[in-house]
Amino acid sequence: MMRRLSAFVVRWVLSAAVLWVAVGLVSPGNPGNTFARALLISVILSVAYYLTLAKFLWFLLLPWLLYVLVWLATVMGTYGLGFLQAFLLALGLVFLSWLVEWLFGVKTFRSE
């Protein structure tokens, strides 16, 4: 039980760090870009990944479209980004998540 909890915390912190760095790269000096906010947004986006059924029905288009809408609304609303900045943020998250997985062997929440 303790192993699973510690694995969850490590993945959560790494996921938030990836989000925090990516927002910093896309929107330098953004006052809403704090690590605490990244922790909260990581949890919200992870829950949305399950609630929109994108995790389970990955082969269908509708759950992914719903998840993308939730993701965009959350990120754009929280950090005050425009659509193009949010798109760049998504690309940065993909790259940084891949880098974290390659360096540490740990998948962040968004790369499951």
Instruction: Report CA 39 to chain centroid distance, whole Å.
Output: 10
Contact criterion met (CB below 8 Å) for 66 and 52: yes
Contact criterion met (CB below 8 Å) for 36 and 55: no
DSSP string, 82-102: -HHHHHHHHHHHHHHHHHHHH
Looking at residue 60, its amino acid is L
Q: Give the separation between CA 31 and CA 13, rounded to whole angstroms.
A: 20
The pair phi, psi for residue 94, each rounded to 5°, is -60, -50
**How high is the pLDDT of residue 107?**
73
State percent of the chain over pLDDT 70.
Answer: 95
Q: Quick one: tokens of 4? A: 């699973």
**How high is the pLDDT of residue 83?**
96
Looking at residue 1, its amino acid is M
pLDDT tens-digit profile of 37-50?
Answer: 999 999 999 888 88
pLDDT tens-digit profile of 80-108?
Answer: 999 999 999 999 988 988 888 888 877 76
Check whether 16 has a pLDDT greater than 90: yes
